[in-house]
Amino acid sequence: MTDWDPSKPILEIENLSISFFTRLREIPAVMDFSCTVMPGESMGLVGESGCGKSTVALAVMRDLGKNGRITGGSIKFKGRDLTHMTEDELRHIRGSEIAMIYQEPMASLNPAMRVGDQLAEVPMIHQAMARADALKLARQIIADVRLPDPDRILRAYPHQLSGGQQQRIVIAMALMAKPALLILDEPTTALDVTVEAGIVDLVKDLGSKYGTSMLFISHNLGLILDVCDRLCVMYSGEAVETGNVTQVFDKMRHPYTQALFRSIPLPGADKNTHPLIAIPGNFPLPHERPTGCNFGPRCDYFLDGTCNTGDIPMDPVPTHDRHATRCLRWKDIDWDAPAKVGKVTEKLPRGRLVLKMDDLKKYYAVSSGAFGGGAEKVVKANESLSFEAHENETLAIVGESGCGKSTFAKVLMGLETATSGQIMLFDENVQDTPIQARNTDTVSKLQMVFQNPFDTLNPSMTVGRQIIRALEIFQKGTDDADRVERMLVLLDMVKLPRAFADRMPRQLSGGQKQRVGIARAFAGGAKVVVADEPVSALDVSVQAAVTDLLMDIQRENHTTLLFISHDLSIVRYLSDRVMVMYLGHVVELGTTDQVFAPPYHPYTEALLSAVPIADTRVKKRRIVLEGDIPSAMNPPPGCPFQTRCRWKTQVPGGLCDTVLPPVQVLAGGHQIKCHLSAEALAGMEPVITIAAE
């Protein structure tokens, strides 16, 4: 690599085309893709699932599997063309010069091999280092990725580490040989937001420390803004816009980029006055791409005869920094025109009380030890949950994995019964009634929309049949004909064509499946709907549409919506009140405005700071939480958050270590479970500020 000039690009992809070959046909996955990464630069690849961003990454690694083939173009790494290298040459580059970090840290580590051995392997292969030296280096890198107790971790198996720690190990593994290029494929998607913030900080620091170039793949625009210098927006196998991050974010020149930004909930969006603008239509399947512009059928600026005639080349935007767009009409579009505001709606008045939880507790007993036995331990999944929910209201329940929000949903639905406390649903106590014992009326009034639409529909039953089945169970409709009619009305309600009644779930896209899930939940005229992360498995452009649908149905049916989510942006957009949970406790409860503005609970403060926001105007105070969420099996004494709280020193007498904080009720019924004095709380500064335009 001596003939390589450091002022030249480290990675240069030119007109790359990749296809997958099946027995039936060739499926083009990436067409005419070009991008350049300079030394020390981090390049973001953004796009929805299926747009080909991961395929590009794997092509750089030359690991496309048996069916994938590069059909055109070149990938030059330090001036050498990777597409023509032999397996042997590639092996020397993989891991030592180009390293990759993956989406699922647990799946990416060998479960039967100690972490130390997996790390040490890299220098042992590439630098023929002795095992002892390699382990020493591994220990040093583990310390570099800020993991505590490196010696213990070297000897640990992957399953003994938490998700965040595993991802740090994967990063450490990638850094073992000090690569020149790091490819990160959705490195934080499987992690919680506060953990994600830590990983993102680490990646940025290490990038500048070692001068590593990065190819950062993500669907999250906020993260790209945090991490990258430049980005490349992909749509359906093509790069549609590329440029430096601020220019693309503020002065985008492609309709897809614009539509994408309008469909994500940024600060300022509001479900009543500034609703999100969903991108109409669906992502085209690889073999059903239109001629001309792939985005054409969904584009507001589509011009027949221009946009659908032939291939569209990348067109550089003059005066901008290496900014280019794949749009024929970019010069004709008024980019500063404000977005057409969708229908503005009135905020519904808060209705009668429908759900009241009083001091609800749910404990589980588990045993430890490899062969069973061991000490019996109690997992306190929910600790004294008390709140009310009214008609027409959206109550968001926010928290990271393990905070007890799913357990709460299970108890409410009757899949589990409460250990103690009361749940009043309408005028009925349901805390001790499992779902089997509840009457049809109660069950149909209280329904759930699930997180993963791909697994919650029966794959061997038509969509219509599944909705009719729900109607039968809820005893709605007089006869079969009536139920078919009701089913079609439900399809109308979730804005699916009536023809979908005869389709199988596999013929539907993720967003369409989730609509079926919503139709099923509302089949019995549900009054209270628990939506457990209903949009987190969907792509951003679809999220907006599904969210709006939920809001519309709520307005029409006066539903109480319990919206469980870890995504604070969407929570801020659609909820009326927010409940923040941590380790089974409700740490903060108030209206959306109260929770998103100071005074905060220290945990809410960190959570807000951790959420990446795709808006260049937003200034955030960076608060990175140390360590992981403690295990619910072994919670800390006193305040549950004390192990990671940055305000702890401000409470006199070590109260946080010993006493569970009382609930302080502030102005407007805003509840915070914290020892901090009223003055300290009042003195908090906002985490997010929007710079004046």
Partner 1 sequence: MLPFLLRRVGVMILTALTLSFVVFSLTNLAPNLEKLARTEGSVRMTDDAVLSWIENNGHGGLMVTRYGQWLGVVPGWVRTDDRGVTRGRCITRDVTAEAAPRYCGILQGDWGTSTVFREPVSKTIADKLGATGWLMMWVMLVMVPVSLIIGVLSGMREGSRTDRVLSTFAIATTATPEYVSGVILVVIFASATTGISPLLAEWGWISGRTLFLGTATSATDKITFWNFALPVMTIALYGIGYIARMTRASMTEVMTQQYIRTARLKGVAFHQVILKHALRNALIAPFTVIMLQFPWLLNGVVIVETLFNYKGFGWTLVQAAGNNDIQLLLACSVVAVFVVLVTQLISDVGYVFLNPRIRLS
Angle of helix 163-175 relative to helix 115-126, nearest 10 degrees, comes to: 10
* Per CB under 8 A, 365 contacts partner 1: no
Nearest distance from C-beta of residue 108 to partner 1, angstroms = 5
Binding mask 63-92 vs partner 1 (x if CB under 8 A, - otherwise)?
x--x------------------------xx
173 touching partner 1, by CB under 8 A? yes
Q: Is 130 one of the binding residues for partner 1 (CB under 8 A)?
A: no
Q: How far apart are CA 681 and CA 53, in angstroms?
A: 44
Shorter beta-carbon distance to partner 1: residue 122 or 231: 122
- What is the smallest separation between the CB atom of 94 and partner 1, expressed in angstroms? 4
User: What is the token pair recorded at 28?
Assistant: 């083009």
Q: Would you say 170 or 540 has its CB closer to partner 1?
A: 170
Give me 476's structure tokens.
Answer: 């709605």
The single-letter code of the amino acid at 348 is L
Select the span of 225-233, 346-354, 363-371, 580-588 touching partner 1 (CB under 8 A).
363-371
126 binds partner 1 (CB under 8 A): yes
Count of residues making up the chain: 693
User: Residue 380: which region, alpha, beta or left (left: phi > 0; alpha: psi -120 to 50)?
Assistant: beta
102 binds partner 1 (CB under 8 A): yes
Which stretch, 106-114, 496-504, 539-547, 559-567, contacts partner 1 (CB under 8 A)?
A: 106-114
Tracing tokens 């800020």 back to the chain, one arrives at: 146
Query: Can residue 112 be called a binding residue for partner 1 (CB under 8 A)?
Result: yes
Q: Are 153 and 161 in contact (CB under 8 A)?
A: yes
Site membership for partner 1, residue 546 (CB under 8 A): no
The nearest distance, CB 163 to partner 1, in angstroms, is 14
CB of 368 to partner 1, least distance (A): 9
Q: Does 111 bind partner 1 (CB under 8 A)?
A: yes
Q: Which stretch binds partner 1 (CB under 8 A): 238-246, 370-378, 539-547, 631-639?
A: 370-378
Binder of partner 1 out of 140, 345, 367, 658 (CB under 8 A): 367
* C-alpha to C-alpha distances, 234 to 33, 214, 271, nearest whole angstrom: 9, 17, 28
* β-bridge partners, 324: 242, 316
DSSP for residue 333: S
Q: Is 353 in the site for partner 1 (CB under 8 A)?
A: no
Residue 531 interacts with partner 1 (CB under 8 A)?
Answer: no
Closer Cβ to partner 1, 90 or 623, answer by number: 90
In 324-479, which residue ranges form alpha helices assigned H by DSSP?
A: 405-413, 440-445, 463-473
Q: If we measure between CA atoms, which residue out of 609, 678, 673, 674 comes closest to residue 647?
A: 674
Give min distance, CB of 97 to partner 1, in A.
Answer: 9
**Does residue 372 touch partner 1 according to CB under 8 A?**
yes
> At a CB cut-off of 8 Å and minimum separation 6, what does 426 contact?
354, 445, 527
- 169 phi and psi, to 5 degrees? -65, -45
Q: Judged by CB under 8 A, does residue 626 bind partner 1? A: no
Q: Is 223 strand, coil or helix? A: helix
Please give the Cα distance from 414 to 445 (Å, whole number): 13
Q: Is 155 in the site for partner 1 (CB under 8 A)?
A: no
DSSP helix/strand/coil, 304: coil
First vs last Cα of the chain: how many Å apart?
A: 47
Beta strand pairing call for 585-591 and 671-673: antiparallel
* Angle, vertex CA 158, rays to CA 157 and CA 162, nearest 5: 125
Per rule CB under 8 A, is residue 337 in the interface with partner 1?
no
Binding of partner 1 by 693 (CB under 8 A): no
506 binds partner 1 (CB under 8 A): no
Q: For residues 60 and 233, which CB has a smaller minimum distance to partner 1 in the complex?
A: 60
* Residue 154, SS3 per DSSP: helix
Which window, 74-82, 117-125, 412-420, 598-606, contacts partner 1 (CB under 8 A)? 117-125
| Binding footprint of partner 1 on the chain (CB under 8 A) | 61, 63, 66, 91-96, 99-100, 102, 104, 107-113, 121-122, 125-126, 157, 159, 170, 173, 367, 369-373
